[in-house]
């Protein structure tokens, strides 16, 4: 391994500026003549717009749909037959379909003044009955979110495994209904966008807090009707994205339109209330599952119905059907069974559109299948850990193609379970459980294991039916005349450390010093096209591109160096920040100087391609590379208050070759904290009229330091045969497993009380309710 290359725990490059408060986020950008934008948003979940009145004297400060002539709505169409496309206008036209939908855009020198203008806008809206619950939305008599559809179904899909025969013969049958709560993402920095017209370049310049700058350029071009060459998108520092910032947002279109038409700078910065009520929504799933097993709890088949409440509109480019497609495809998880039937329903409701969120569908499916595994174990009277271990795909079966055709490339799933059990000392916990806690609380232990498709290829994305299919990744590497290295890639760093890890890949291939590497990401004017950072693809895809480009650059450097050192190219070695041939050495600067500044000294056989290389990475196998993980939780439950304390928590993960093990740990811990939020705290509830009930962080509980235990980390490094250096993705995984592990642990703690929770977040209120219900049931059985 090169010093500071792949595998090194290098301190992150980006932290120098962030820890000193010198990062530059959208709201840090000052510009002469900048106007702020505030939106007048719908206060009703469903309504017909009868009239909008601009406040007298302020007409030129207010813009409505009628002003946005020539602006196309967001049309996130899917190629899948039967998918209904929603017409998502940047500003509402005839109807509003969720609380928070943008109706009017108001401008002023400051945000406070812009908000005053927004409040003065007169709205005449006829309120209509709202559709809030996803199962209600499926009923034939439900109000319609989109009148012309005739129902509320964006899409239904079906996988028709032969489950009926199995249902007749299987010795064990377990049925459950499970629910996951609706959630927000809460990056530290909310969404933000600033746009101006650059007269010199003849371009609309859009600074936006995004994971996907090149895609935003494509999306703005389509909605604004402006050539892509006339749009430059620059993502400054991004304070977390988590999926929320990988779709085109109406506010982005509005602010860009203002700058395009008025030719001066405008910006909108999302506030926390906008984030909570109008912005990011995700995670809300309903499952109806029946599992069939043998007497030992060996899973034979699964019959599933998944309903996702995807909100009012389809987001671009990931659409309203990605979540359910992922749910249906991933529900079988890391388990080895061959019969699967699954119907999915992506239903429109009067809630904000559904955006991808770290893990995309898999926190839900992992919760669902992991609770089923424990339920089966209880049904057959065995320890859930043993039943889980026997059902997992075994190491000897690798590579393994599962019941939905996913190709698990490498690894030892049961070993991750054994390691996690060791880290939390499961035997010790069982002993402690048997002897009882001195404070009367009940303790329990739970596991959850998943496998996660990462860095998948074009065919997989295309099969999900999305309007823009993510392709390959590209990167440019360039040696400068003074021997530094510049990396340019169209992907962006959003907190996950790519500036550092892409540098490490280049260091590994080129032997150049880590500090000599500079990374520019995301600016559409200076980086090759990329679809961006999402789907845990950055390391494998952009890392793969940097690797290939660096290998080619190394070849070119060797040729020039061989001439300068008068040796054969084969004897040239790039290592430890210099260029060697035996004991002789020259610097990277010597090569840079020779090519750029003194080319007359180079022989004719040095090709003219120079010291700048752009290369791409395309997954070898379209199904991508599969990371897997087991989380283990030990909880204490207080039966009087319903409070859950996490006593111990372990994460064992295999993301192939870790480029920076410190960053990998950070990714896993950060993800797990979000997963703990999903499991125990976070929810965006809505009342029957579609009014959001959590509009401040007082109503929406995020886990803080007190709620999160010190996590124990374990790693397996089984290299993927399909990626550069055997890397696999890791960005999302941490968030996937906590709900399954934690709720299994709570159910384990309360099993003697006849309690089994099936809904998250598992709040104290829900736990107390379940305890009371179980008590009532026991009492009524005693009477009978
Ligand atoms: N890495 C590594 N070795 C590997 C794999 C990854 O060192 N074998 C490091 C790399 O620095 C890489 C990071 O871990 O950038 C995450 O890896 P990867 O799985 O390739 O994910 P991406 O780079 O594509 O990042 C996106 C991913 C997603 S989809 C979400 S959602 C998410 C996440 O990363 N959002 C994040 N992690 C986040 N972390 C922060 N701080 N903020 C977010 O918004
Ligand atoms: S939700 Mo991550 O941006 O794929």
250 lines ligand 1 (CB under 6 A): no
What is the spatial distance between Cα 761 and Cα 757, in angstroms, rounded to a whole number? Answer: 10
Residue 440 shares a structural domain with residue 479: no
DSSP 678: I
Q: Which atom of ligand 1 is nearest to the CA of 240?
A: 44
Please identify, by atom number, the ligand 1 atom nearest to the C-alpha of residue 360: 31
Look at residue 255 and tell me if it is in a domain: yes
Q: pLDDT at residue 499 above 90?
A: yes
In whole angstroms, what separates CA 400 from the centre of its chain?
Answer: 25
- The structural domain count of the chain equals 3
Residue at 138 is within a domain: no
Residues 657 and 608 occupy one common structural domain: no
Q: State whether 440 and 542 are in the same domain.
A: no
Mean pLDDT across the chain: 96
What per-residue confidence (pLDDT) applies to 604? 81
Asked if 447 and 477 sit in the same domain, the reply is: no
For residue 58, what pLDDT is reported? 98
The predicted pLDDT at position 681 comes to: 98
Query: Are 631 and 656 in a shared domain?
Result: yes
Quick one: which H or E segment has residue 88?
none
Do residues 610 and 686 share a domain? no
Measured in angstroms, how far is the CA atom of residue 645 from the centroid of ligand 1? Answer: 28
Q: What is the H or E stretch that residue 506 is in?
A: helix 498-510
Q: What pLDDT, on a 0 to 100 scale, did the predictor assign at position 609?
A: 78
CATH of the domain at 260: 3.90.1170.50
At 127 the pLDDT is 98
The percent of residues above 90 in pLDDT, for the chain, comes to 95
Please indicate, yes or no, whether residues 89 and 217 belong to a single structural domain of this protein: yes
Q: Is the pLDDT of residue 606 over 90?
A: no
pLDDT tens digits along 223-243: 999 999 999 999 999 999 999
Q: Which atom of ligand 2 is nearest to the CA of 732?
A: 2
What share of the chain in percent tops pLDDT 70?
Answer: 100
DSSP states of 126-175: EE-PPP-SHHHHTSTTS--SSGGGSSSEEEEEEEE--HHHHHHH-SEEEE
Same-domain check for residues 480 and 431: no
Measured from the CB, is residue 538 less than 6 Å from ligand 1? yes
Supply the CATH number for residue 770's domain.
3.30.365.10
Ligand nearest, relative to CA of residue 237: 1
Q: What is the pLDDT of residues 318-347, one digit of tens each?
A: 999 999 999 999 999 999 999 999 999 999
Separation of CA 226 from chain center: 29
Of 223, 255, 279, the residue that ends a domain is: 279
How far apart are the C-alpha atoms of 619 and 615, rounded to whole Å?
13
**Are residues 408 and 330 in contact, defined by beta-carbon separation less than 8 angstroms?**
no
Is any ligand 1 atom within 6 A of the Cβ of residue 733?
no
Ligand 1 centroid to 1 CA: how many Å? Answer: 22
Ligand 1 centroid–CA 186 distance in Å is 17
Model confidence at 783, in pLDDT bands (50, 70, 90)?
A: confident
Q: Is 753 in the same domain as 635?
A: yes
Give the closest residue (by CA) to ligand 1 atom 35.
242
Domain boundary among 599, 617, 635: 617
How confident is residue 371, by pLDDT bands cut at 50, 70 and 90?
very high
In this predicted structure, the answer to whether residue 608 has a pLDDT above a threshold of 90 is no
Per-residue model confidence (pLDDT) at position 539: 98
pLDDT score at 781: 87
Q: Does some domain include residue 287?
A: no
The domain in which residue 481 lies consists of 15-21+472-617
State yes or no: pLDDT of 607 exceeds 80: no
Report residue 2's pLDDT band, with 50, 70 and 90 as the boundaries.
confident
155, part of any domain: no
Structural domain includes residue 148:
no
- Residue 97: its pLDDT value, please? 98
Contact 752, 436 (CB under 8 A): no
Whether 38 maps to a domain, the answer reads yes
Q: pLDDT digit string (tens) for 643-689?
A: 999 999 999 999 999 999 999 999 999 999 999 999 999 999 999 99
pLDDT digits (tens, 9 = 90+) for 757-766: 999 999 999 9
Residue 603 lies in a domain: yes
Indicate if ligand 1 lies below 6 Å from the C-beta of 655: yes
| pLDDT at res. 603 | 86
Report whether pLDDT(572) > 90. yes
Atom of ligand 1 nearest to the CA of 243: 31
pLDDT mean over 416-438: 97
Residue 393 to residue 400: CA distance in whole angstroms: 8
| Residue range 746-759, pLDDT digits in tens | 999 999 999 999 99
Average confidence (pLDDT) over 197-210: 98
pLDDT band at 467 (very low <50, low <70, confident <90, very high): confident
Q: Cα(17) to centroid of ligand 2, in Å?
A: 25
Is 583 in the same domain as 634?
no
Ligand 2 binding pocket, CB closer than 6 Å: 211, 241, 243, 246, 356-358, 360, 534-535, 732
> Are residues 757 and 651 part of one domain?
yes
In a domain, 305, yes or no: no
Give distance in angstroms: CA of 557 to centre of ligand 1: 31
Which of 565, 594, 617 terminates a domain? The answer is 617
Quote the pLDDT of residue 772.
96
Q: How buried is residue 439: exposed, middle or buried, by Cβ count under 10 Å (0-12/13-18/19+)? A: exposed
314 sits in which H/E element: none
Residue of 241, 496, 543, 733 to test ligand 1 pocket, by largest number of atoms within 8 Å of CB: 496
Give the residue, out of 536, 627, 673, 724, with the most ligand 1 atoms within 8 A of its beta carbon, to mutate for a pocket test.
536
How far is 501 from 499, CA to CA, in rounded Å?
6
pLDDT tens per residue across span 4-56: 999 999 999 999 999 999 999 999 999 999 999 999 999 999 999 999 999 99
Ligand nearest to the CA of 735: 1
């Amino acid at each position: 391994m090169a010093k500071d290359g792949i595998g090194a725990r290098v301190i992150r490059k980006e932290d120098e500026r962030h820890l000193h408060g010198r990062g530059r986020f959208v709201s840090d950008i000052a510009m002469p003549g900048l106007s702020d934008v505030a939106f007048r948003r719908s206060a009703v979940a469903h309504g017909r717009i009868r009239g909008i009145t601009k406040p007298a004297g302020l007409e030129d400060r207010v813009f409505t749909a009628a002003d946005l002539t020539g602006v196309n709505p967001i049309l996130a169409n899917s190629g899948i037959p039967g998918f209904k496309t929603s017409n998502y206008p940047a500003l509402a036209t005839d109807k509003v379909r969720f609380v928070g939908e943008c109706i009017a855009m108001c401008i002023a020198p400051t945000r406070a003044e812009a908000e005053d203008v927004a409040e003065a806008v007169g709205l005449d809206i006829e309120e209509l009955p709202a559709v809030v619950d996803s199962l209600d939305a499926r009923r034939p008599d439900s109000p319609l979110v989109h009148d012309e559809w005739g129902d509320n179904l964006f899409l239904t899909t079906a996988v028709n495994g032969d489950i009926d025969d199995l249902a007749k013969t299987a010795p064990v049958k377990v049925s459950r209904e499970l629910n996951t709560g609706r959630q927000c993402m809460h990056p530290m920095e909310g969404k933000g966008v600033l746009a101006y017209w650059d007269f010199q370049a003849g371009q609309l310049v859009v600074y936006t807090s995004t994971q996907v700058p090149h895609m935003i350029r494509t999306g703005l071009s389509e909605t604004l009707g402006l050539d892509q060459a006339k749009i430059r998108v620059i993502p400054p520092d991004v304070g977390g994205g988590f999926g929320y910032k990988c779709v085109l947002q109406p506010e982005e279109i509005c602010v860009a339109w203002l700058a395009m038409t008025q030719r001066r700078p405008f910006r909108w910065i999302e506030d926390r209330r906008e984030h909570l009520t109008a912005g990011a929504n995700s995670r809300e799933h309903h499952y109806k599952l029946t599992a069939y097993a043998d007497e030992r709890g060996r899973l034979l088949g699964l019959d599933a119905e998944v309903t996702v409440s995807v909100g009012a509109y389809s987001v671009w480019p990931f659409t309203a059907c990605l979540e359910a497609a992922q749910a249906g495809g991933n529900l079988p998880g890391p388990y080895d069974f061959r019969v699967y039937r699954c119907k999915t329903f992506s239903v429109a409701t009067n809630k904000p559109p559904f955006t991808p969120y770290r893990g995309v569908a898999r926190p839900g499916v992992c919760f669902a299948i992991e609770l089923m595994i424990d339920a089966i174990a209880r049904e057959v009277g065995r320890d859930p850990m043993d039943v889980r271990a026997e059902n997992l795909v075994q190491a000897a079966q690798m590579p393994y193609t599962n019941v939905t055709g996913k190709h698990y490339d490498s690894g030892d799933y049961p070993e991750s379970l054994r390691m996690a059990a060791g880290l939390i000392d499961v035997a010790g916990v069982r002993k402690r459980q048997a002897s009882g806690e001195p404070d009367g609380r009940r303790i329990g232990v739970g596991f959850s294991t998943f496998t996660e498709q990462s860095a998948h290829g074009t065919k997989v994305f295309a099969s999900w039916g999305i309007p823009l299919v993510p392709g390959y990744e590209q990167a440019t590497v360039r040696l400068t005349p003074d021997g530094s290295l510049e990396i340019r890639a169209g992907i962006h760093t959003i907190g996950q450390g790519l500036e550092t890890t892409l540098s490490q890949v280049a260091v590994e291939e080129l032997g150049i010093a880590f500090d000599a590497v500079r990374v520019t990401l995301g600016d559409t004017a200076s980086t090759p096209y990329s679809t961006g950072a999402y789907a845990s693809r950055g390391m494998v895809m952009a890392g793969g591109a940097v690797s290939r480009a660096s290998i080619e650059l190394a070849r070119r450097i060797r040729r020039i160096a061989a001439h300068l050192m008068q040796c054969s190219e084969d004897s040239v070695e790039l290592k430890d920040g210099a260029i060697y041939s035996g004991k002789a050495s020259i610097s990277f600067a010597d090569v840079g100087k020779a090519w750029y500044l003194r080319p007359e000294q180079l022989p004719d056989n040095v090709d003219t391609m120079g010291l700048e290389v752009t290369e791409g990475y395309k997954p070898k196998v379209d199904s991508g590379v599969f990371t897997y993980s087991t989380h283990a939780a030990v909880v204490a439950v207080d039966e009087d208050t319903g409070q859950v304390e996490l006593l111990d928590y372990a994460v064992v993960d295999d993301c192939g070759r870790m480029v920076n093990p410190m960053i990998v740990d950070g990714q896993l811990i950060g993800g797990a904290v979000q997963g703990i939020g999903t499991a125990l705290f976070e929810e965006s509830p809505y009342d029957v009229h579609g009014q959001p009930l959590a509009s401040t962080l007082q109503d929406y509980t995020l886990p803080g330091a007190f709620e999160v235990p010190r996590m124990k980390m374990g790693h397996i490094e089984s290299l993927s045969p399909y990626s550069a250096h055997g890397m696999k993705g890791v960005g999302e995984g941490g968030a996937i497993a906590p709900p399954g592990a934690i709720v299994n642990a709570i159910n384990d703690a309360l099993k003697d009380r006849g309690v089994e929770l099936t809904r998250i977040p598992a709040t104290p209120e829900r736990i107390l309710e379940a305890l009371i219900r179980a008590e009532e049931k026991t009492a009524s059985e005693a009477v009978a």
